[in-house]
Amino acid sequence: MTLEAAIVAGVGPGLGSSLARAFAREGYAVALLSRRADSSDPAAKEIRASHGTALVVPTDVTRSQEVKAAVDKIRLQLGPITALAYYASGYGRGSFLDLHPDQIRQSFDVGVMGAVHLAQAVIPEMLAIGHGFISLTGATAALRGRAGFAPLAMAKSSLRMLGQSLAREFHPKGIHVVHLVVDGQIETPKLRAREPDRSIETTIPPDAIAQAVIYALKQPRNAWLHEIDIRPASELF
């Protein structure tokens, strides 16, 4: 059995799968969380085919008791959890005056509260072991809100503040917390199907983002970074 486990939350055919494969290559047993097992199954099969360990755990991260049960299962089957990569996101868009409060609440619950539930479930064990790693995937909306994207902006900016608070509290205790500003569209099969003629130079490869996370994972304790912003060279900022 692999000695340590990593949780990747929000696994689908894009960045979530890239993160799961990246942690598996680093020797972690990987737990793949998504609401539906079929979102995580392809990445899990790839990891197992490469002789890694992968466990698919369908989980609604907005439900704290469901998260707790998932973490208990992961710990039992894979071992101590020392890494968490949070990519789940509640999108949310529309004219502000037309938004129903439930749309805003759902975006916040998925984009922020899921990270809260998972962090509270895994940090105590990281503290007991003496080390840990948490990455939170944000977006341009973490820094500035666009018209028509209020729910996303509220969630992503709050996730960024959560990351800062966690870093300030837990960096001195051995838990490295990293927030990523993904400033641009991630290359996914869905995006490619929608825009087949779009230049590959204008999208961000999910494997490249995962590599940035692993770079942070490997940093020495006396040279930790907290925030990474990543974008195509063509992106204005």
Domains assigned to the chain: 5-230 (3.40.50.720)
Cβ(159)–Cβ(112) below 8 Å: yes
For residues 6 and 39, give the distance between their C-alpha atoms in angstroms, rounded to a whole number. 18
Compute the CA torsion angle 91, 93, 96, 99 (nearest 10 deg): -70
Beta bridge partner(s), residue 179: 136, 227
On the CB side of 52, CA atoms within 13 Å amount to 24
pLDDT tens digits for 20-77?
999 999 999 999 999 999 999 999 999 999 999 999 999 999 999 999 999 999 999 9
Q: Tens of pLDDT along 91-147?
A: 778 899 999 999 999 999 999 999 999 999 999 999 999 999 999 999 999 999 999
Fill in the amino acid letter for 80: P
Lookup: tokens for 218:
């490997």
Using the Cα atoms of residue 193, residue 197, residue 198 and residue 200 in order, give the sign of their dihedral.
Answer: positive
Report pTM: 0.94
Rounded Cα gap, residues 60 and 136, in angstroms: 17
The string of DSSP codes covering 50-76 is TT--EEEEE--TT-HHHHHHHHHHHHH
